Structure formats: C-alpha cells, structure tokens
Amino acid sequence: MSTTPLLEVEDLAISYRTGDRDQRVVHGVSFKVMPGEVVALVGESGSGKTTTAQAVLGLLAGNGKVEGGAIRLNGTDIAHWSQKRLDGIRGAVVSLIPQDPGSSLNPVRTIGAQLAEVLQIHKRGDRKTIQARVIELLERVGLTPAEMRARQYPHELSGGMRQRVLIAIAVALNPALIVADEPTSALDVTVQRRILDLIDELRRENGTAVLLVTHDLGVAADRADRLVVLQGGRIQEQGAVEDVLAAPSSAYTRRLLSDAPSLGKPRPVRVLADNQDFAIDVEGLTHDFPLTGGAAKTFRALDGVSFKVRRGSTHAIVGESGSGKTTAVRSVVGFLKPTAGRILVDGVDLTTLKGEALRRFRKHIQLVYQNPYGSLDPRQTIARIVEEPLLNFESIPAADRARKVRDMLNRVGLSESFLERHPRALSGGQRQRVAIARALVLDPRVLVLDEAVSALDVTVQAQILSLLDELQKTLGLTYLFVSHDLAVVRQISDTVSVMHKGRQVDGGPIETVFGRPDSAYTRELIDAIPGRSMPAIAALASQTDPHARLSP
C-alpha cells in the first residue's frame, strides 16, 4: 500500500441554498482513503454522509455548493473543477454505485446499452470491442446468459439483478475509487449479502478503493477497513473498524452501537406456554391471485399458512419481498378475502364477515404502516388525524374526543403543542408516533405493525421499539409485527413465522427459530444479517443457549 492517499478530503464545507439563504450541511469534514481501502461513512439521515459522497463525484444537487476545503484525488484538488473537466474522470477514475436500483437505470433503454454507454463516453474501442466487453462484464457480475440479459430492459430484472448491472457499470473502466451510496439499502437481506460479496470480490481483484456510504453500522463493520462516523455534518470520530467498535470515543457512536438492532439483546424470554388465550389464530391461510392472460391461471401468494398469537404477546412475520407477508397481513386486517383458510381474531372468524360487520370489526384490529411520510394526510392537523378514527364509529361528544386525542398523544410521548401542527413539521419518528396514536385511539386489541420501523434511523427506531414495548405492557396489546429485518424481529417478538415464497418455512418461539432453525432458508437469513463481524454480535451468537421453555 502506497503512502499517498487516493482520496483526501480536507476541511470540506458544503452548503445548500434554500430560498435566499445558505444552509451549511457539512462542516469541516476531513478523511482519507488509501488505494485499495474500504472506508465507510456512517451516519443517520441528515448527517451529511451522502452530500459528502456526492461532492467527491462533483455531483451535488443544483443548489449545493462546496464552500471551503479540498477534495484531493491522487493529490489534485478537484473541488473546484468545472463539470466538463469532471466528466473526464467520472466513470473512469471515480465511479458510483447508487442507492436505489429500481430507479437508477433508464427504463426505456436496454441494460446492454446502458452498460455500453460508459465505454462509449470514454471512447474505449469500437462497437464490436465494446459489445464484447459488455458481455464479459455481465458475465462477471453473474448475469447470465449475458447475451440475453444485455437485450433486456430494467423492468424485466429483479432489484438484485439491477444492482448487479449498476455494479458492472461502476467497475467497467476499472476505476481507482468507487463511491457506493447505500448500495444495498433497498434490497432484501440475502440479496444484500450477495451484492456486498460481489463488490468485495471485484474490488479485491482490481485493487479498487471504496467509499461506502451507509446508515447500517453492521454493514460498515463487516465490509470496511475504517469508519468515519458523521452526525449533523460533523465527524464524530474515525478510525480502524475494530478500534471504533471496541472502544468508541464519542458518545454518539456509543449510542449508535447500542441502538443498532443487530447488536441489541433479544428481549427477555417471557413464559407464555401456560397462556392458551389466543388473540389471533390463523389456520391454513391460502390466497390465489388471478393472473392476466388466461382466466384459469392463478398465482398462489400464500400456501397454507398457520400461526397463533397469544394475547399480550408479539408475533413476527418475517420474509423478503415476494414472500407473501404483505398478503398475509392484508388478510388478517380483512382487506383481502383469502381463497381458503380461517382467520380468528378474538374468536371471530374474519373470513365470514362482510360489509358493515367487517367495517365495525376493524375497530378491534388496527394497522400502522411502513411509510410515516405517506400515511398521514399532509393537509390535516395532528389533532384531526388522531381524531378521525373516532368519527367512524359510535358518536362521542366533541369534548370527550378532544380529551381522548390529547391522552393518546401524551401516551406516545408527544406534547399537546403538536395538536395543531401539520405532518410536514414533524420528523419521521414523530410521525410514526402519530400513526401509532391514531391506531390506538380506538382501543384496539390487536395492532398490526407493517414494517413500522423500517424507514426510521436506528436511534429513532430504538425509541419507537421501546415505546411499543411499553404500550404493550400497559395496554395489554397483541402485536403482529411484519418485517424483513431479522435483527429488529429478534428484539421485539416472542414468536415468529418465517415466510418464503408463500409458505411458512419456520415458526415458533423466537429463540428456537433463531437458535435451531428448521429450514435452510432461515439459516441463510440469519447468516445474512450484517454486523456478524462485530465483537458484540460474535459474543451473542456464541451464547445462543437453547433455554426454550416455550412449546410451539
């Protein structure tokens, strides 16, 4: 390893212009990336990690500006280069693996054309040479048969395959540095692992350095040589991964570490075996969706799924996209009528209810959605949002309603000053608290949490999870917790169903499923949880002691 850094960011300051004033978002950030090294920029939303990475590529949003400092690439300061000059090095010397494979490829051009483009821009050979190289690259990233894949359009590929195309684009010219901006955040955990392995493999082959931007401390711990922890546009600490994880020097890093779900302790085992009172009892749930292009063709989204949830406990449904977990949830809340099977909620068979009876029953089972930004009406005040469910059922005097709304907001940890605000004035975590208050205002017995903490930063996620835990204890709620994140599931649930392609491949008490999984798929899921290289995790993994006192 040579001693001149490949990338040296020094005292970097970046502002965004909003209206007529500049808002500084990156304050004096300095770090180095040596050739062939992986450096992770870790932080939560608003930490300035993505802005810093964009500045390295010279691709700040239109209103962003480098106000001070230097970005030296091989010793040359590129911070104030013109776009035209930067075009010469982008793709060839520095390249990008973007966050969202879904929208990062042009939908109207074939992937072959989009891969060939980077070679055309930098004039690497004639049509035939480029075509041959495209095929070679597609094969290298595991997209076979490459000739066929090259002619496909992005919508014909899965998320993981699209990310492989984007990786092929990033490595095509063998750059010295790859900026990987949350390269796997939008992917399922098993796919995430394979994609990160692929990036690792390719960068080792070519000696490429990687600037890895991530919110996931686990991913950073597994893949990086050094960590740079950012908060509010300032560096909290940086150093070798082992050092930072073993002895974090800043309070913020310590908090990040303790809140990271992959590091957290599983909830204490609660003895529930003698509790035979089931709030939810699902048996043989099967759902077929009709397919277009033939009346008789159907797609089986759910195939004989059964589980029981004891009152006052938390049952998790875990699975990757396409596993059928969303269909299962929509059936349990009565939005979908299953093809076959029985769903007992509080002893009432939901599948036999319809019309007004079904509507009235929804009072007992409420839903909290994934996206706290889309699930609140932006034009309503918080008071109005929380009050609305009350208006749908038996009429309550206005004064009582107002009191109920206030109580509920206090319960989820929001003061009365929030009543007249609008959702846009709230942070993601505050919005999710409002969504929980709205669900609880009807005094339901069952709360369905559909990826309810997936969109939140880890520290906020930890706060919401502890709020949920406290509400469960005081109100005796039963939770059905749907998630793709096994680490979170282990923190909050008592029992779990692991779903894969519409079937339940594993089920039972959490420590049985995590300690001695029945299926190879569950084992794969557990192995794919990032952060296993962290010392704390390793310690936890070794102490999985099968003290399973629960009978499934």
Partner 1 sequence: MTRYLLGRFGQALAVLALTFTAAFLLLQVLPGDAIMIKFMAPEMALTPEQIADIRAAYGADLPLWERYLSTVGQFVTGNFGYSIQAGVPVSQLLATNLPSTLLLASLGFVAALILTIILAATSNMTGMGWLRAGLQSLPSLFISVPVFWLGIMLIQLFSFQLGLVSVISPGPVEKLVLPVMTLAIPISAPLAQILMRNIDQVLAQPFVAVARAKGASRNWVLWRHVARNAILPTLTIAGVLFGELLTGAVVTEAVFGLSGLGGLTYQAVGNHDTAVLQAIVVISALAFVVINLIVDLLFPLLDPRLGIKVGATT
- Give the ranges where 58-126 is alpha helix by DSSP (H): 83-89, 111-121
Residues contacting residue 299 through CB under 8 Å, at least 6 positions apart = 288, 289, 290, 291
Closest distance to partner 1 from the beta carbon of 105 (Å): 5
Using the Cα atoms of residue 182, residue 185, residue 188 and residue 190 in order, give the sign of their dihedral.
positive
Q: Identify the three-state secondary structure at position 237.
A: strand
Task: Pick the closer one to partner 1 by CB: 89 or 244.
Answer: 89
Residues contacting residue 190 through CB under 8 Å, at least 6 positions apart = 320, 524, 525, 528
Closest distance to partner 1 from the beta carbon of 170 (Å): 8
Tokens of 114: 């989009």
Closest distance to partner 1 from the beta carbon of 110 (Å): 8
Distance separating alpha carbons of residues 448 and 454, to the nearest angstrom: 14
Q: Which residues share a beta bridge with 234?
A: 231
Task: Pick the closer one to partner 1 by CB: 125 or 476.
Answer: 125
Task: Pick the closer one to partner 1 by CB: 121 or 358.
Answer: 121
Closest distance to partner 1 from the beta carbon of 154 (Å): 9
Task: Pick the closer one to partner 1 by CB: 91 or 248.
Answer: 91
Distance separating alpha carbons of residues 304 and 497, to the nearest angstrom: 13
Task: Pick the closer one to partner 1 by CB: 21 or 84.
Answer: 84
Task: Pick the closer one to partner 1 by CB: 163 or 522.
Answer: 163
Closest distance to partner 1 from the beta carbon of 191 (Å): 14
Distance separating alpha carbons of residues 137 and 169, to the nearest angstrom: 8
Residue 507: Cβ within 10 Å count: 22
Residues contacting residue 11 through CB under 8 Å, at least 6 positions apart = 28, 29, 30, 68, 69, 70
Task: Pick the closer one to partner 1 by CB: 9 or 166.
Answer: 166
Task: Pick the closer one to partner 1 by CB: 61 or 541.
Answer: 61
Task: Pick the closer one to partner 1 by CB: 105 or 513.
Answer: 105
Task: Pick the closer one to partner 1 by CB: 149 or 226.
Answer: 149
Q: Which helix (H) or strand (E) holds 512?
A: helix 510-515
User: How many residues belong to the chain?
Assistant: 552
Best CA proximity match to 67, nearest among 103, 21, 15, 139: 15
Closest distance to partner 1 from the beta carbon of 90 (Å): 4
Closest distance to partner 1 from the beta carbon of 84 (Å): 7
Closest distance to partner 1 from the beta carbon of 190 (Å): 17
Closest distance to partner 1 from the beta carbon of 519 (Å): 24
Best CA proximity match to 225, nearest among 40, 66, 30, 361: 40
Closest distance to partner 1 from the beta carbon of 175 (Å): 10
Distance separating alpha carbons of residues 49 and 40, to the nearest angstrom: 10
Report the interface residues with partner 1, using CB under 8 A.
Answer: 57, 59, 83-84, 87-92, 95-96, 98-100, 103-109, 117-118, 121-122, 153, 155-158, 166, 169, 179, 291-293
Closest distance to partner 1 from the beta carbon of 83 (Å): 7
- Give the ranges where 72-188 is alpha helix by DSSP (H): 83-89, 111-121, 127-140, 146-150, 159-171
Q: Identify the three-state secondary structure at position 452.
A: coil
Task: Pick the closer one to partner 1 by CB: 297 or 359.
Answer: 297
By the 8 A CB rule, do 10 and 72 touch? yes
